[in-house]
Amino acid sequence: MKNYQQQKFTQQLVIYAFMIVFGLVAVVPIWLMLINATRSTAQINEGISLFPSVYAMANWKILTGRGFKLALGFKNSLTISMFVTLFSVYFSSLVAYGIHVYRFKGRQILWNLIMMLIMLPASLSFIGFVQFMSKAHLMNSYIPLIVPSIASAATVLFMKQYMDSVLSFELIEAARIDGAGEFGIFNGIILPVLKPALATQAIFAFVGSWNNFMTPFVLLSSTEKYTLPMLVQMLRGDIYRTEYGGIYLGIAVSLIPIIIFYAFMSRYIISGLTMGSVKE
């Protein structure tokens, strides 16, 4: 028995060593970014440091002095992501509810279509999408970035699975007997019941839109409309070539909001991640 205890102890040590090493691998790049964002370019060129310095303000001036319209980028990204979140979550629940509750012709076809859509890679329609937007004079507009989120197949699947497990027809029947209209039932009774699922899907929709790079990069041309990732992408250009302090700060300001958000919501996000997938 003592032998067993000893064996277990060494095994735990090995596991802890792995956890520490890989925990550090996950964190060190972020830590270096935060530290270097506060150091001057001369200091960065001199060597690595694990402790912050005092040049954050100077780096900020370098960063914003060269056309890095940070506040505008934030506002643009926030506008797009908020609409995308709202649209994808609301309309996906609407479709999932429609399929869940009503027995209409074409219901099964629609459901099969949604399942198929999830597996289609987005790159397949990309060239046609851009050309079509160009024909429709929607280049440099937020419409092609926001409106397609009304048809988010993966969110529909998730909401449908959640409804299968929590929604009872008695609830809907009772509301109908009380004289509520169908839309009234959906908005007033069903949506509140779905809150946990809505919240996780909202988080993932928001983050997905916030991080989206390729589509806005191709569609938007005026710098006034640039999203945050498009601004960050400018940091690799010639104007910042040797200003490492400014570059690190630019990357940092784009990531810090996500990190803070995650710090408060991580438990929620991680459980949301497995909510829909355990059934696979």
Partner 1 sequence: MVKSDAQQKIKSDVQKRLNKYGYIFTLPFVIIFLIFNLWPTIYTFLLSFGDLRGLKTDFNIIGVANFAKLISDRYFWGAVGNTFIIWGLNFAPQLGLALLFAVWLTNTKYTLRGKNLFRALFYMPNLLTATSVAILFRSLFAYPVGPVNQFLLNIGIVSEAFNFFRSVPASRIIVAFIQWWMWCGQTLILLMAAITAISPSLYESAVIDGANEWQCTWKITVPLLRPMMFYLLITSMVGGMQMFDIPFLITGMHGEPDFKIRTSAVYMYNIAFQGRNDYSYAAAISIGMFIITIILALLINYMIKERAPKSYRKGVAK
Q: Which of residues 222-261 bind partner 1 (CB under 8 A)?
A: 228-230, 232-233, 235-236, 244, 247-248, 250-251, 254-255, 258-259
- CB distance 73 to 226 below 8 Å: yes
Block residue for tokens 């102890």: 9
**Closer to partner 1 at the Cβ: 125 or 166?**
125
State in angstroms the smallest separation of the CB of 53 from partner 1.
14
Cβ neighbours of residue 198 closer than 8 Å, sequence gap 6 or more: 89, 93, 159, 191
**Closer to partner 1 at the Cβ: 71 or 124?**
124
The one-letter amino acid code at 136 reads: A
- Our CA angle for 36, 42, 47, nearest 5°, is 60
44 is a contact residue toward partner 1 (CB under 8 A): yes
Touching partner 1, residues 143-182 (CB under 8 A): 144, 147-148, 150-151, 156, 182
State in angstroms the smallest separation of the CB of 87 from partner 1.
9
Residues in contact with partner 1, shown as a per-residue x/- string from 14 to 43 under the rule CB under 8 A: -xx-xx--xx-xxx-xx-xx--x-------
**Closer to partner 1 at the Cβ: 222 or 277?**
277
**Closer to partner 1 at the Cβ: 58 or 129?**
129
Maximum Cα–Cα distance across the chain? 76
- With contacts defined by CB under 8 A, name the span among 44-52, 53-61, 62-70, 191-199 that binds partner 1: 44-52
The one-letter amino acid code at 241 reads: R
Count of residues of this chain found to bind partner 1 when the rule CB under 8 A is applied: 91
State in angstroms the smallest separation of the CB of 108 from partner 1.
12
DSSP secondary structure, 135-175, as one string: HTT-TTSSHHHHGGGGS-HHHHHHHHHHHHHH--HHHHHHH
- CB distance 68 to 280 below 8 Å: no
